[in-house]
Structure 1
Amino acid sequence: MCRHLAVVGPPASIGSAVVDPSHSLFRQAWQPRRQQHGTVNADGFGVGWYAPGDPRPARYRRTGPMWADPSFADLARVVHTGALLAAVRDATVPSADGEAAAAPFADGPWLFSHNGAVPGYPESVLPLASQVPAEELLRMEARCDAAFLWALLAHRLRRGEPVEQTLADTVKAAADAAPGARLNLLLTDGARIAATTWGDTLWYLTGPAGRTAVASEPYDDDPHWTEVPDHTLLIADRTDVTLSPLKEPWQ
């Protein structure tokens, strides 16, 4: 459905993670190696990154394929950051939302992406809409399933609820409401990365320079990439990665 990537570590160009590697997200837009659903991720893309001293990330999003945007190639070459989240999109269903439906979604210090699909959306998740105030639903950037999942998450994050609990509860609620949903969620605040595996692939790589990457699939052939089991919650910073099962209720 999509491919996404988050990185935290020493400042480096956006392109060093998103464009330059041999199997980068840029290439995954047309030739993913491990994508289980869909074939080409050409329905939009986006990248969000953090500038020194500013907790709110900047974003660059477009409706077309990443490979067709020369402006992004320039941006990725010259902009340096210590944390980013990027995604290429294979739309679940056609929509008129344009770049508003392209991840990353943002709120305050947070960046978010969803790799997957919610069967029967929006009817299947109508019971969950009551968890979000009406004014927040009306402010949703797009009408797609990913934007709705982000509305559920962002509402709880703004209230200061723990990231681990929020992600675990959201995945369980969406999976209960829409059986068969694929719910690989990816979230960062610029210091930590949080992610879930629920129906699709996820890998992580920690490097000797204090750099951690979490991605739908490896962006190069480094043998130290580690696959995350399905139904798992991942929490990572620059040096450490913690995995917890999502099959049991979160404690």
Structure 2
Amino acid sequence: MCRWLAYSGSPVLLEEILYRPENSLVMQSKHARLGATAVNGDGFGIGWYGAVTGTPALFLSTEPAWNDRNLRELAAQITVDRVFAHVRASTGAAVQRTNCHPFRYRNWLWMHNGLIAKFPLVRRELVLAVQPELYPLLEGSTDSEVMFYLAIGFGLELDPPAAVARMVAFVEEVGRRHGVEFPVQMTVATTDGTTTWAFRYSSRGKSRSLFHSADVSTLRAQYPDNPALHDLADGSRLIVSEPLGDLHGAWLEVPESTCVVVKAGEEQFSGFTPA
């Protein structure tokens, strides 16, 4: 499938997140430890918020992340306090730039690991359920992008957890009507530039891996000789498909069927149920 990370906190160089950790996202693009596939080489994308406007910037490529010199150059120069990054393993959709995550709508970003089972069977009905004013914005051919625009139509900008719950319930209803027993497999992250929401859910109840970082102040006290921890503010947070390293206690698994909300350096967890 795919691997992704969502970071918010004190400003850091992109390379500190994408390249330097032992199990960095770029490393996961060719040697994922916990993914459904070890290699995630069907493109990558990063989305971040600059200082000028509230609209996030995107850098998307169909190159494997481990082999893209432009990504390495940018990562050494760009400082971010909020970033979404994603390495892709296609589940059937074409390897093309418009299929690379994260997807963008106004000030919103969205990325996904997983799939809508038997998507070609239900694609027409799902796409036609996208709001007419949003339909022209669909550029690619992935189930992930369709999920995003369905969620927007269900009220993502007003209440993200409720909108995602409605979207998942709708996809499951359509899928089961077409004989698909377990329609949805997902870890999803979305942000408006201020708050990050992440969801771990699957119709089968066996979702892809998802972890969040432990409190930085606790880790700093536990590992006083680790210089990397001293450069991060206490409110810095990471949500990742799999841990970026083996530091004991640094990574906590997000429970099954859970929504995580990260805002102003604080995390909140709640159960997630399609509705």
TM-score between both structures, scaled by the size of structure 2? 0.83
Residue 124 of structure 1, CA deviation: 2.1
Which 5+ residue runs of structure 1 have no aligned equivalent?
A: none
Partner Cα distance (1:243, 1:127) in 2: 32
Partner of 2:134: 136
Q: Which shows bigger deviation, 64-73 or 230-239?
A: 230-239
Whether contact under 8 Å (1:61, 1:99) holds in the other structure is yes
CA distance 1:246–1:176, change in 2 (3 Å) = farther
CA distance in 1, matches of 2:4, 2:200: 12
Q: How far does residue 11 in structure 1 lie from its aligned partner after superposition?
A: 1.0
**Which residue in 2 is equivalent to 1:207?**
216
Whole-angstrom distance in 2 between the partners of 1:248 and 1:99: 30
Q: Secondary structure at the match of 1:115?
A: strand
1:31 paired residue number: 31
Higher alpha-carbon deviation: 132-141 or 77-86? 132-141
How far has the Cα of 1:54 moved from its partner? 2.0
Matched residue SS, 1:173: helix
Unmatched tracts of structure 2, length 5 or more: 176-180, 202-206, 218-232
Between the two proteins, the alignment pairs up a number of residues equal to 246
Report if aligned partners of 1:47, 1:86 keep a CA contact under 8 Å in 2.
yes
* Residues 93-132 of structure 1 aligned to structure 2 (within 5 Å): 93-95=92-94, 98-132=96-130
Which deviates more, 165-174 or 212-221?
165-174
Q: Which amino acid is the alignment partner of residue 167 of structure 2?
A: T
- 2:114–2:187 CA contact under 8 A, matched in 1: yes
Structure index of larger Rg: 2
Give the counterpart letter for 1:141 in structure 2: E
The yes-or-no answer on 1:171 pairing with 2:151 is no
| Corresponding residue for residue 20 of structure 1 | 20
Alpha-carbon separation, structure 2, partners of 1:133 and 1:239: 34
Is 1:224–2:232 an aligned residue pair? no
Secondary structure class of the residue paired with 1:218: coil
Deviations 1:204-233 (A, max 9, x none): 014231101011111122322110111111
Quote the Cα distance in structure 1 between the aligned partners of 2:27 and 2:241.
13
Determine if contact 2:5/2:238 at 8 Å carries over to the other structure.
yes
Question: Partner residue of 2:225?
Answer: none
Amino acid at match of 2:211: W
Q: How does 1:159-198 map to 2 (within 5 A)?
A: 160-178=157-175, 179-180=181-182, 181-198=184-201
Deviation at 1:100, TM superposition (A): 0.8
Which letter does structure 2 place at the counterpart of 1:236?
V
Structure 1 counterpart of 2:11: 11
